[in-house]
Amino acid sequence: MLRFILILLLLLAGNSYAFNLTAKSWLVADENNFILDGRDTQTVRSMASITKVMTAIAVLEAEQDLNQLVKYHNVKLTRRELIEISLVKSDNHASDLLCKHYPNGYRNCIEDMNILARRFEMYNTTYTDATGLLATNTTTAIDLLKLLNVAERYPLIVEASRKNRVEIKIRKQWFVFNNTNPLIGKKHEFIISKTGTTTAAGGCIILTVRTERGIRRVVVLGSRNGQTRIPEADFIASSN
């Protein structure tokens, strides 16, 4: 009898509370962007490396040569490869290079990222660097839902999001960059995925996945840390 009462209480409390989500802001929406559940969806928070999605979009919108070589540490990578490792490995140096080699330089890259945010009606979003390391890269869960919709329009971003790793051969040496989301290739059919973690932002992740219930777009901001963000996002996507 006691076990039955406990189960009933958990059901009444709601799935998200039963799981004890630590995220300060989160939401889950269906393929029509109808929000199925969420918390503090309009509170402005730091977004960490989710910033890199807009960095990639700005480069793609600028129609730069994706095959142009750029010096990355002691080797040269194409702009396409820099975008891939920026999104997959969340490589800060790659993101910085994308903006440093942007038309009219780094500052113009950041300005264009903010212009794009306004174009996409992300009115509560501000970008101040290419990587998301600065706490002043801020947004809301609602704005990131809009970003997910935009990111899905870019084949290169979708392609990168679905890779569990990027392998690049330079001369006779292979460089391997693993995805910061360990669920890629193991669970769900991912369409978009980008993680982020800093002290100011906590654990963050945005993703679009195809589940048994249909397309789910999930945003998690301010999770306790980098270890909690992914199981929380997975739970939210799977239970709504």
Q: Is residue 7 part of a domain?
A: no
pLDDT the model gives residue 122: 98
The answer as to whether 59 is a domain residue is yes
3-state secondary structure the chain: CHHHHHHHHHHHHCHHHHCCCCCCEEEEECCCCCEEEEECCCCCEECHHHHHHHHHHHHHHCCCCCCCEEEECCEEEEHHHHHHHHHHCCCHHHHHHHHHCCCCCHHHHHHHHHHHHHHCCCCCCECCCCCCCCCCCEECHHHHHHHHHHHCCCHHHHHHHCCCEEEEEECCEEEEEECCCCCCCCCCEEEEEEEEEECCCEEEEEEEEEECCEEEEEEEEEECCCCCHHHHHHHHHHHC
Does residue 4 belong to any structural domain of this protein? no
Residue ranges, the chain, pLDDT below 70: 1-19
Number of domains in the chain: 1
> What is the span of the domain harbouring residue 40?
20-239
Q: Are strands 75-78 and 35-39 parallel, antiparallel or unpaired?
A: unpaired
* β-bridge partners, 39: 26
How far is C-alpha 15 from the geometric centre of its chain's CA atoms? 24
User: Considering the domain boundaries, does residue 112 fall inside one?
Assistant: yes
The CATH number of whichever domain residue 159 belongs to comes to 3.40.710.10
Compute the distance between CA of residue 156 and CA of residue 154 in angstroms, rounded to an integer: 6
pTM check: above 0.85: yes
Give, in degrees to the nearest 5, the angle at Cα 233 between 54 and 56: 15
Contact residues for 117 (Cβ-Cβ < 8 A; gap 6+): 54, 123, 125, 126, 127, 143
11 in any annotated domain: no
- Position 164 in a domain: yes
- Asked if residue 9 belongs to a domain, the reply is no
pLDDT at residue number 19 = 61
CB 180 within 8 A of CB 161: no
Q: What is the pLDDT of residue 10?
A: 38
Whether 222 is covered by a domain: the verdict is yes
